[in-house]
Structure 1
Amino acid sequence: SPLQLAITGSRGKINRACFVKVIHGACSNKERYFDILNIDRYDAILGTSYQKDFGVLLDVSANEVIYKTNPTQLIFNTKEIPTPKKKPALLVRKTPLSTYGISHSRFVKDKVLASPKIGRLATVNFTRATEPSGVKIVKTVHTEICQDDPLMPASLAVSVQDTIIDRLRDKWMTSTKDLWGPRPLKLPPFREINHSVPLIDENYRPTSRPAKCPEQFRQAYIDKINTYTEAGWWQRASVPAAMPMMPIPKKDNRIRTVVDARQRNDNTHKDVTPFPDQNVIRRDVARAKFRSKLDQADFFEQIRIIPEDVGKTAFATPFGTFVSLVAQQGDCNVPSTAQQLMMFLFREIIGRFAHAYLDDIFIFSDILEEHEEHLATVFDILRQAELYLSKDKMDLYSKSMICLGHVIDDNGLHADEDKLSKIIAWKEMSTVKEVQRFLGLVQYLAQFFPNLSTMTSPISKLTQKGQPFELRLSPE
């Protein structure tokens, strides 16, 4: 069923529910119906039906929640709770004037309840005192929540856990050096999934064009050619036609080589392999307490091309023509082949505690010990498949990670600040393609923009066929 909170743009969906016995303060042990959903920072939301059944009073002026009993009342004093996760103090309030005809007293805080051992919830049982002017605490029961050791302060528990996780990270970085160290200069093995180039017209020859290289990339280009030919990934070849290869700089001062394969792609049967739902991946990762992310180094080039299609990969550089024995950047079907390989290798664990999206692998768990087991399983699969990782992009036990264009941390899912900055800095648009690019970026972050369709409708009309381009509104 749909969920709509009382805030603009709120949306969600309830897929599960349960019945739970509630013992809360002076409330009786009664089974209640609860919807299960994601709510940020809170453990539970108690609605008006709950408040009616248990006689709950909301004193907004005093910032108090009062549980009425006869003749006592149990109060959470939320003045002392700046955020929902802070431990509340339980206060006992003397009987008001309207009940016993005596002067009303302010709060009396029991010293036992101020103990640092208390978790985020405490249950106190009351009976009426002999004197009608007050209450008597017969038994106090402290219920610890989210703390493994009830005698350990929360701040110390977090510090200890961080120390343990730091050691686990070091352990994994040491034990997986064979996966992220220098990539072996040899051909990757043929696996269950390999790449092919299914041409529509086998006799078609693309138009040859000169390959260019900016002077600042010249030496890096030559070094890459030497490395790849030595490893056997590329081979020099005399071919009747070849597609130009372009060097593109990376952030780490290396170059990525991309083949301008547009003509060949037009002559290729398209692979329409379905890709995983990115929203499902992000939700699974965001819900977990422990999260890790792995990135495969030059992933496409770790995939073999079937021998009979190697001759179809011919490409030209300023330093000669070559064919490739590994998958190429620019081939329209390589992403589909890569995703097929990931889904096959991780078929037993996809959706359980891992997701794979092209070269990104996400591992998620709710328990530390389980996360250790899950990491070991993923690393074993990568070893058996002889797939290698990027050391700089290994994010184990992540506090904050980029997950498919969004940010995930302990507070949930957030928009990537870089993408928000691009939207804010977007210049006034003058063509339909610019409008389409802008709308594409905004729609990618749609869940973070309430009433987005209302804001984008004036410029969305400009993309309709036959609509004259007349932009009267700025992107803001």
Structure 2
Amino acid sequence: MKTTRPTRSKNNLLTITGYFLVGGTKARCLFDSSCEGIIMSSEFARATGIHMHKLPEPIGMQQAFQGSRAKLYYTATTDITIGQRTYTETFDIANIDYYDVMLGTPFLRRVKTNIDFNGLGSIVPSRAIAPTSGIEMFNRKERRIISSVRVSIQLTKDNFTHFRSQWKEKYADLFGGIPLELPPMREVNHRIKLIDPDKQFNYRLPKCPEALRAQLHAKIDHYLKAGWWEPTSASQAVPMLCI
């Protein structure tokens, strides 16, 4: 007799994550009570310039599936800010996907975390720390975090319809056709740390498939007509995306 795997809703598959400052840079963090380590992505460490220390001997790490193992070669010590408190923590460096940092059981116990799966889920480190929820809303001037300490957040289809209408009205200039004018100025709310600001990158000449050349020429003509691009010559140039 054949059996099928049950289909789970997206809400039931949501993990408890958040964006927090790690080493002065906003990082996507996963709160994982099944993990016995405090792990940082090697890509995140290199991109942000966090100094890594090589271990005298590699340390084996057993993963959840039998026979699945990894080895740790580096660690890094840096600050992490959760709520209104900053901690100095030692991270194991590993190749992890999708997340920048995984905060396992040792860290959750250190900050005396309460994990609440009522609604979409929230995490409350302690009463002395501002609670943090996985739901985050951003606007142009400030970053608001919705918390569910005493009141659980229950979203329905009507809520999503209401939010969708609000966002479409607020950001009407981002929807619809592409006007032949530059978009309004917006506040830059992020920064990119360059490890070597003097480094020059050499790029290969771009090639466009024959089937897409008509679309490419139409796009170039559109951008030139709008004044977003202008023809020029240069020794090298970074491919640009005009939003």
Q: TM-score, normalised by structure 1?
A: 0.20
Higher strand share: 2
More helix by share: 1
The structure whose Rg is larger is 1
* TM-score under structure 2 length normalisation: 0.35
If asked which structure has higher relative contact order (CA below 8 Å, sep 6+), I would say 2
